Structure 1
Amino acid sequence: MNFECAAIVLSARRYGEGGAVVHLFTEEHGRIAGLVRGGSSRRQAALWQPGNLILARYASRLSDQLGHLSGEMVQETAVRLLDRPLQLALVQAAAELTDAALPDREPHPDFFLRTIRDLTAFCVLADPAPVVDYVRWEIALLTTLGYGLTLNSCAVTGEIENLAYVSPKTGRAVSENAAGKWADRLLHLPVYLRPDGDDEGVGDPVLWSQGLTLTGVFLSRHLFGSRHRPVPASRERLEARIRAMVEAMSDTDEGDRLP
């Protein structure tokens, strides 16, 4: 089995004397793993950073055998974000989630192209940080793996306006009027995920946190909980970082109100 294709680096771990086992996400072959000779050396380490887009060359004698990998850089990601820690956290979470969630060698071409587009956005968009793009990417991941959310109409009334919540059981939107006394048991639906929301609130950490809480419930319960595995640590750190931003904003507002 031999091929050459564009690939996103998902992870790399040291193997043996200077080698590395690298996981890639490709358009035609899905998530694949390969052995890179010298992959953990100083000369090659930068190439195999999670989030990088590379031209990968893969060779193996048998289709179910761990093949050998080599590659050339197409687009650096991690190095470009060393001075932007929030964007770097988005890249790390996206790479680790993809690595942990996707089954081996199952192609998802549309999601592959979506991931390349969003990784590029994480690199080039600085203010506000593209956290909303990341939340939408997580929803696309859930949809790709069969856990899609229905956010375009109310599950109770069918209306498409005044959507404010999501049922944690069904993943369906609920309007503010239909929520009634159950509102405190529902998840908040941030405005940028509503059909008529467009890009409202894209720079608001409070709404970022609501979006991550929403997707986090379904990642934890359906995607990883069903396999008795935790949500990847980088994703947990990202959500904690956003929560800390919200708390800092709250402390500042409270301080401004003090006499």
Structure 2
Amino acid sequence: MNEPDSMFRLDGKVVLVTGASRGMGQAIAVALAGAGADVIGVARGDMVATRCAVEATGARFLALAADLSQGACVPPLVDQAHAWQGRLNVLVNNAGIVRRGVALGVSEADWDVVINVNLRSVFLLSQAVARCFIEQGSGGKIINTASMLSFQGGIRVPAYTASKSAVMGLTKALANEWAPHGINVNAIAPGYIATELTSLLQQDEQRCAEITARIPAGRWGRPDDVAGAAVFLASRASDYVHGHTLAVDGGWLAR
């Protein structure tokens, strides 16, 4: 029987985290490194800060630049990631964008880029990495980033809501297919987390106050509030968890 602490260790694992340059992606990458994993960070932006924080834990870090709105980047990206140490064990599909505006004003271009980054890349990366897992014969973990808007409609974010609702459904569909291969597919649904993605909401004093008033914990979340859930879903502790979306929301959905 595993000791409780050892169940959460990721020693010898190689994890790929998208959107790793800042916010939740950075916090998740550092937490997984702290649990013993080596980390591949994927982002369009600079990942120097993430590299420094990961390497400070004693883990190794590989930075790969990619624009996940372009599906063609996925095969070479996964090939590079796998070649780094000859294996992949965990995929965290964290990259995401939002375009705010009333539904009547959403352009086709804005709709497409949100769906491409938030949903299409999640499927394409999961598909490519799952093939690696199956070839390796040792299973693996896929962790998607859902949202409170996987459960609710939101306000003035129709493309984002559509994408995140679909991520929760896709998580279940892939879990059903890949569980027999020892692949766990789950998702984290962060609540209102103080990151660059939510900066406009934080700057809207009325909306920010309304949101905070509904959160039983009495505050917005921090990126590191999500990191523990990622370690759990990446570790042996979650081996019998399949197709679940774990809300990390300060109690938002309970109210």
TM-score (norm 1): 0.24
Point out which structure has higher relative CO (alpha carbons under 8 A, 6+ apart). Answer: 2
Q: What's the TM-score, normalizing by structure 2?
A: 0.24
Larger strand fraction of residues: 1
Greater Rg by CA: 1
